[in-house]
Amino acid sequence: MSDTKPVTKVPEGQARFFKTRQMEPNDKGYVGFETIWEPFQKEVPYETPKRP
């Protein structure tokens, strides 16, 4: 009933804070995308202030 077409490979996408990659098709033929986020800000451990 439905003919399965060969999946064309999409190049890796890159934006300012994330990357997207095409995943392998699953058993139903669905091809999804994986999103890898980069941190927005740097996390610094808390230090107690000096006493006056």
For residue 50, the model assigns a pLDDT of: 92
Q: What is the pLDDT of residues 8-49, one digit of tens each?
A: 788 888 988 899 998 888 888 888 889 999 888 888 999 999
CA distances, 37 to each of 2, 17, 31, 43, 49 (Å) = 35, 6, 20, 15, 33
Report the alpha-carbon angle 24-3-9, nearest 5. Answer: 30
Is pTM beyond 0.95? Reply is no
